[in-house]
Structure 1
Amino acid sequence: MYSQTFSRQNPGCIIFLVDRSDSMRASWGGSNLTLAQGAAQAINKMLFELCVKSTKVHDAPMYLYFYVGIYGYGLCPRRSGEGVESALPVALADRFIVPLPELADHPLRVQDGGPGARPGLPVWYEPAHGYSTPACAAFEMVGSHVKEWVAAFPSSFPPIVCHMTDGLVTDSPYKDVDLAGWARRLTQISTDHGTTLLLNAFLSPSDATMTLFPDNARGLPAPGPGLFEMSSPLPEPMVHNAAAADIPVGSGARGFVFNADFATLVKFLAVGTQFNVHDETYA
């Protein structure tokens, strides 16, 4: 299981699911960013890295190795209210999971600096925060579109969902199912090579000790234990990614991080999304 490579024949699917509730306005400890700004910068960096990985020849068209989606829950700027919506750039606003080359062609802007920003980096996702935290509804929406993608690409590596939140949930239970139940439904969606993988980044403004890829929930503040249990055990490719990044992981480690700083959040997302691509021309 989880042995399929990423290729044009069998592309991957990477989803970023972002908490945009009011509490994401909190300051990210040790930085001049809010939690919402930190999550946005990490997403844009990961999308850029995927674009680089998918560009085999300079100035040549980008290869379609990945499909991507960005979902936000809480404040929905395009609907002027709260709920769940696609957070892809406005040119793709009526879409949910799109080919990476198409996303690459539609950045919102290019960064010109600012707090923690890297000038020249394309921006596809802007930070937002407001209203409550309808995480269950978000998992339901993501699951419905992941299921559609899996039906179209049953031989691909399973979808990877990267969820960033400050942990609070306001709609559990939703349709008589709690958040853990919606997470189970999502992670039961499978391709021929395994079930959908869920990574949870529990962001915090506190100065508590960071926890990265733990194998148990001891010492985590609420609702950390619940988020840990929802998180997928790391499959072998992610264990290798962690080792390559000098991140020790034990047996039973899960795709979970608590109270990461920006550099650690980027490493966490990279372990979950940075895989080698394989193409018959460049084998």
Structure 2
Amino acid sequence: MYRQSVSRADPGCVVILLDRSDSMKLSWARTNSTLADGAALAVNNILLDMCIKATAEVNAPVRPYFDVGVFSYGARLLTPGEGVESAFGGPLAGRGLVPLPELAEHPMTVRTEPSIDLMAVSAKMPVWVDPVHGYRTPMCEAIALVGGHVFDWAAAHPNSFPPIVINITDGMVTDSPHEGATLQDWVKRMTSIETNDGPTLFFNVFLSPAESAEIVFPADPSGLPQPGPDLFALSSDLPQPMIDNARVDGYDVRPGARGLAFNVGRSTLLKVLQIGTRVPDRPV
């Protein structure tokens, strides 16, 4: 499992779930930005990173190696069933999964953004997602909606690397149960969706305004403060290609490691997103 490379014929699928609840307005520890600012910056960086890595050379077309979606939850006080929406702005507003070449061609804007690395200078970059904070945290509804997109995509791409869903959140779920099912039930339903290469992967990244130690890819929930143990239980085992990626990046990944990053800072958030979206590829 989890060995299929991505290509034009067999693209991958990456979905980012972005918490936009009210608490995302809080300041991110050790930075001068809010959690919403930092999360949006990291998402825009990883989208740009994916576009660049799917380009053979400067000014060459972006290859259709991935279909990508970014969905937000909690940004607006909507009626039940409407609390989740596409986070894309501009020409892609309202879109679900978007082929990587189309994503590259249609950012919302290009503007000077601070570096994800606080020691580096700001630079102009494409922006697909703005920082937003709003109301509650309808995580169940978000996973239910994304599960539908993942199901349709997996059915259309049975030979591809399984879909990767990365949930960036700072809080506890506020809508469990949703339609009679708990958060655990919704995650189990989504991760039961498979391609021939394995089940859908679900990873979690927890952001906090508190200054505390970063915990990346733990193999044991003991010692994790809430909601760490709950997020650990929901997170998929890290597949071997991503374990290899993490070790190359300097992380001491133990057997049984889960796709969970807890209390991470801005630069670690981007590294985790890179590891979670870096799958085998072949340039054909």
AA paired with 1:125? V
Q: How many residues align?
A: 278
Aligned to 2:64: 64
In structure 2, C-alpha distance between the alignment counterparts of 1:77 and 1:110, rounded to whole Å: 29
Distance apart, 1:277 and its partner CA: 2.1
Q: Deviations over 1:108-149 (max 9, x none)?
A: 112224586841121111111011111100000000011011
Asked whether the 8 Å contact 1:231–1:256 carries over to 2, the reply is yes
The CA RMSD measured in Å over matched residues stands at: 1.8
8 A contact 2:46–2:273 mirrored in 1: yes
User: 1:14 maps to what in 2?
Assistant: 14
Q: What residue in structure 2 maps to residue 106 of structure 1?
A: 106
Partner residue of 2:241? Answer: 237
Contact 1:76–1:85 (CA<8 Å) still a contact in 2?
A: no
Q: Deviation at 1:276? A: 4.0
**1-structure distance, mates of 2:94, 2:125:** 24
- Aligned residue type for 1:18: L
Once the two structures are TM-superposed, the CA of residue 170 in structure 1 deviates from its matched residue by 0.9
Unaligned runs of 5+ in 1: none
Counterpart amino acid of 2:14?
A: I
Give the distance between the partners of 1:113 and 1:196, measured in 2 at CA: 33
Residues 165-244 of structure 1: matches in 2 within 5 Å? 165-244=169-248
Report if the CA contact (8 A) 2:77-2:135 is conserved: no
Q: 1:232 to 1:270 in 2, by over 3 A?
A: same
Post-superposition Cα deviations, 1:18-59, rounded to whole Å, max 9, x if no partner, equal 000001111110001111111111111111110011111322
What is the aligned-residue identity percentage?
49
| SS across alignment from 1:111 | strand
Give the match for residue 30 of structure 1.
30
TM-score by length of 1: 0.94
Whether the 8 Å CA contact 2:77–2:134 is kept in 1: the answer is no
User: Is residue 2:153 matched to residue 1:149?
Assistant: yes
Q: Report the Cα offset of residue 248 of structure 1.
A: 1.0
Supply the distance in 1 between the matched residues of 2:136 and 2:105 (Cα, whole angstroms): 32
Q: Provide the C-alpha distance between the structure 2 equivalents of 1:95 and 1:24, rounded to a whole number of angstroms.
A: 23
Unaligned segments of structure 2, at least 5 residues = none
* Per-residue deviation, residues 204-239 of structure 1 (Å, max 9, x unmatched): 111222111001111222221111110010001101
Match of 1:87 in 2: 87
> Amino acid of the residue matched to residue 259 of structure 1?
N
Name the amino acid aligned to 1:39: A
Show the counterpart of 2:43. Answer: 43
User: Is 1:260 paired with 2:264?
Assistant: yes
Distance 1:211-1:114 versus aligned 2 partners, 3 A rule:
closer
**Contact 1:28–1:205 (8 Å) recurs in 2:** yes
Q: Deviations over 1:229-254 (max 9, x none)?
A: 10010001101100111111000000
Q: Are 2:271 and 1:270 aligned?
A: no
Distance 2:122 2:158 in 1: 37
